[in-house]
Amino acid sequence: MELDLNLLGNALVSGLLLGGFYAAVTVGVSISFGMLDIVNIAHPAFIILGSYIAYIANSTLGMDPILASILGMPAFYLLGMAIYHIYDVSFERRGDNGLRGLAFFFGILFITEVTLVLVFGVDYRLVEASYIGVSIHLGPIDLPLRLLVPFGISLVLMGGLHLYMSRTFIGRAIQAVAQDPLALRLMAADPSKIKRIAFGLSLATASIGGAILIIIQPVEPSIGRDYIGRIFAICVMGGLGSFAGSLVAAMALGIMESITSTFFGPSWSPAVSFGFLLLTLAFRPSGLFGRA
């Protein structure tokens, strides 16, 4: 195959934009898995739930999907607090968060997916907004707004969370809770409460992630599974819990996927992220910028 520079340039740019979006869907797992050590494999299912909420708001009220997702955030936050509470009482306090904790989240993933199938069926759903379908042209490079808007939202989300985590008391407590719960107690903060807030926050990001997902591509209940590998690959490569690291890892993955699907066909692109994850786990488990 002859290497077409225009094609390559477009693949690079769309990979970069896609990577920004991947960073936004990963940030929730960076909090739950990276900082709290809770392996929430159900996170992608909640992202799909967020997509469907944006879809309902868009198709019935004509609301902008992103606005809908921001309005949905408090509900996701509360849902996250409730789930963490169950998890805490049933598994963490019993010291039984390995096998059963994983099975718990796996069950939640499955229940969410099957419920969505029962309610909405397996058809692909999409949203309508003024910026979908429009592109900015820079010479030979196309910048579809469908990717550019999520990219911008994603950067805002990551930047905001970064500020929150580094500047506020609760943010710093969240970063500390997995490392030394006892020291946190001595600072007069209840580790359970901090983790509950953090987990709520992590699910709240799924609301935004879901909305930008459905802007980028049509959604059906089972595509969440494709994101499990991506999210955890990025999270691990970025060095668990580092926002900047996961942003870089997400862009690297986005570019690789975009190049693979441009030159080898889209049916191969799921294998890229999962292969990436397996190799990362095998050879560089502390991530590219690892601190572990």
Partner 1 sequence: MRNSAFFAALAGVAILVFGAAKLIDNAYVFFAGYVVLQYIVLSTGWNILGGYTGYVNFGTAAFFAMGAYSTVALHKLVPGLPLPVMMAFGGCVSGLIGLGTGYLTLRLRGTFFGIATLALSVVVQTLITNWSFVGGSRGAYVVRPDTTAFFAIDYIEYLFLLMLGLSVIAVGVARAIEKSKLGYGFATIRDDELAAEASGVPTLRLKLLATALSGGFMGMAGAPLPYYVTYLDPASGFSLSYAVNTIAMPLIGGTSSWLGPVIGAVLLGTLQQVATVTISSALSLLIVGVMLVGFVILAPKGIIGWFAPKRGKGA
The answer to whether 110 contacts partner 1 (rule: CB under 8 A) is yes
Q: Which residues contact 60 (CB under 8 A, 6 or more apart)?
A: none
Best CA proximity match to 156, nearest among 209, 197, 203, 195: 209
Give the CA-trace dihedral at 218, 223, 228, 234, to 10 degrees.
Answer: -30
- In the complex, the smallest distance separating the C-beta of residue 133 from partner 1, rounded to whole angstroms, is 28
Q: Does 217 contact partner 1 by CB under 8 A? A: no
Rounded Cα–Cα distance for residues 217 and 9 (Å)? 21
Nearest distance, CB of residue 137 and partner 1, angstroms: 33
Give min distance, CB of 258 to partner 1, in A: 16
Min. distance of Cβ 115 from partner 1 in angstroms? 7
Closest CA to 211 of 62, 10, 4, 21: 21
Q: Is 124 one of the binding residues for partner 1 (CB under 8 A)? A: no
CB of 110: closest distance to partner 1 in angstroms? 4
Cα dihedral sign, 69-70-75-78: positive
Three-class SS state of 171: helix
Determine, following the binding rule CB under 8 A, whether residue 225 of this chain makes contact with partner 1.
Answer: yes
- 39 touches partner 1 (CB under 8 A): yes
Cα–Cα distance, 287 to 290 (Å, whole number)? 4
Q: Any contact of residue 222 with partner 1 (CB under 8 A)?
A: yes
Binding of partner 1 by 86 (CB under 8 A): yes
Q: Tell which positions 226-265 bind partner 1, by CB under 8 A.
A: 226, 228-229, 232-233, 236
CA distance 81 to 87: 10
| Binding interface with partner 1 (CB under 8 A) | 39, 41, 86, 90, 94, 96, 98-100, 102-104, 106-108, 110-111, 113-115, 117-118, 222, 225-226, 228-229, 232-233, 236, 267-268, 270-271, 274-275, 277-278, 281-282, 285
